Chains A and B, each alone.
Chain A
Amino acid sequence: MSPLDTLIIAPLAFALASLGMGRRGAWLIVIAAPVMIALAVWLCAQVWAAPVGHSVGGWAPPLGIAIRADGLSAAFMLATAVAAGLIGLFALDEFAPPKDGETARSHTFWPLLYLLWAAVNAIFASADLFNLYVALELLTIAAVALAGFGALKAALRYFMVALLGSLSYLLGAVLIYAAYGTLDMGLLAQRAEADLPTLLAAGFITAGLIAKTALFPLHGWLPPAHGSAPAPASALLSALVVKASFFILLRFWFDAMPGISGPELAHLLGALGAAAVIYGSVQAIRQTELKPLVAYSTVAQLGYLFLVFPLAGAADEAAPWAAGAWSGGVLHALSHLFAKAAMFLAAGLMLRAAATKTIGGLEGLARAMPVTVFAFAVSAVSLMALPPSGGFMAKYLLLTSALAAGAWIYAAVMIAGGLLAAVYLFRPLARAFAGKETPVIVPTPRWLAAIPLALALLASALGLASAGPYAFIQAGAPLAAEEGLK
């Protein structure tokens, strides 16, 4: 059994075990987190030598289903293992059963965490459009249920958008099967042609996935769903769930259909991404509560990811800057994954300590809980794309490729987005440092405060040691990631 299969099977086994173990199920994370991280490291070591993959059950595509991991998959699986593991440990504080009995939440959070983990790993490993659909739906169920921990109304709204998005994706996959007789991405890359049925199918798939990724203007469900859930659930939703549907988009356009996207489609995605950066940032500036601010920041940060498509694919001739755009987009997704997980966890601790929801209520917290506020600040540095951080390296790569491509508008949007991020993130930080008195709070246990700090430092480390991850994600990357979409 290879680490690739185990990374999908193990979280499913943990989900069942955590259900069966009842009250003690919460403590399973203490075993699950190191096991999953070790498996992901093992997979990375294998992939570093050569991309791995095989057909499940020995049936070759098109009849069978292939799973595989290249540098991109393995990097996302490792980032997921670290982030989900740390978020899970953090959640012990909130969702471990209290001494005087147990709550429904302390039972349901854990299986949902592992289901979500299995679903994102299945998405990272799948090379088959229908298998991706099933994994996407598993992810939807886990994510909606976690969002429901906050507000059922917001979760239902998210669910409805997700349902329609899934059907759109499924219809696209059906049309692709009808046209090419396969759903395997490797075979599709050889067979796909830019004719009307293919473009229609690709359109359905893309529309479904951007609804699930909350790209502007389909972002409306995200802020209430991410903003009202408990801190560990928000962190999982913002760091992992939206990345998974973006990952499928990246796979679909660069691996399965590198030859069919015209400049128009690439620019459409880019324009929506640019609008998301500006709109999400402006909305974040207008928020008076901390968690909705962080949620709108996710809307803005997801916008950058879609700039990959025009920068890597809108040129008529060879595009030497495409490699920078693709790698920059992937690094941005990874550093946002760590930074946003850190920020939601730190925000959760800050709001609980100050017993408030508003930014105004944070006054003086920097003196009462310096470690947590520092973690918030470090993750903010990555989101603002200041050095040294993963966000900076990613934005630097995207920006240089935009300038090389002569795409001035996208470059201007990126710079404006960075400035706007500084504006909206400065407000809560300024409040935390304001005033002269130190508020009296219930002290946060040290191990708990260390978790957001560790995640934020990982986001920074991606910038300080970016050469390693940069080289790693190129392992087995598709040709289109280097030369651009046609």
Chain B
Amino acid sequence: MTPSLLYALTGAGLIALGLYGFVTRSHLIRRVLAFNVIGSGVFLVFGALGHEGGITDPVPQALIITGIVVALSLTAFAAAMIARYAEDGGGGLDPDAEDAG
């Protein structure tokens, strides 16, 4: 097993874990965390696929950095919105649990 394959498989594992968390938990903060886990997995896959035979392709690295910035801004925005939702007395941070109750 080459190192890049190992990275790619780890990335795929992270995507699966994150997706599982995103789908099974409706708690908003958990979902934002799951989004970040999936995102890290995608970036890891991207980095691994751009590294073949000892030569590193610079394009994926540039795109990953851009992607991380985008993911960071989305996370910050989501965190701000969730905080506002909680302050406004929107109830729990788990919309599904609220609907059920």
Residues on A close to B: CB < 8 A?
Answer: 62-63, 130, 133-134, 137, 140-141, 144-145, 148, 152-153, 155-157, 159-160, 163-164, 166-167, 170-171, 174-175, 177-178, 181
Contact = CB atoms under 8 A, between A and B. Distances in A.
B66 A171 contact: no
Contact of B59 (A62, A163, A164): A62
Nearest to A182: B59
> Which DSSP category, helix, strand, loop or mixed, fits chain B's interface?
helix
B57 to A, nearest CB: 8
A171 B43 CA distance: 9
> Which DSSP category, helix, strand, loop or mixed, fits chain A's interface?
helix
Interface of B: 15, 22, 28, 31-32, 35, 38-39, 42, 45-46, 49-50, 57, 59-60, 63, 66-67, 70, 73-74, 77-78, 81-82, 84-85, 88, 90, 95
B42 A170 contact: yes
B59 A63 contact: yes
B74 A141 contact: yes
Contacts of B85: 152-153, 156
B69 to A, nearest CB: 9
Contacts of A160: 28, 31
A164 B22 contact: yes
Contacts of B46: 174, 177-178
Given A134-B66, A153-B90, A159 B78 contact: yes
B78 A153 contact: no
Contacts of B31: 160, 163
A268 B53 CA distance: 39
14 contacts: A130-B63, A134-B66, A137-B73, A141-B74, A152-B90, A153-B85, A156-B85, A163-B32, A166-B74, A167-B39, A167-B42, A171-B42, A171-B45, A178-B46
Contacts of A152: 81, 84-85, 88, 90
Q: What are the 5 tightest A-B residue pairs by CB atom distance, in nearest-first order? A: A178-B49, A174-B46, A152-B85, A163-B35, A137-B70
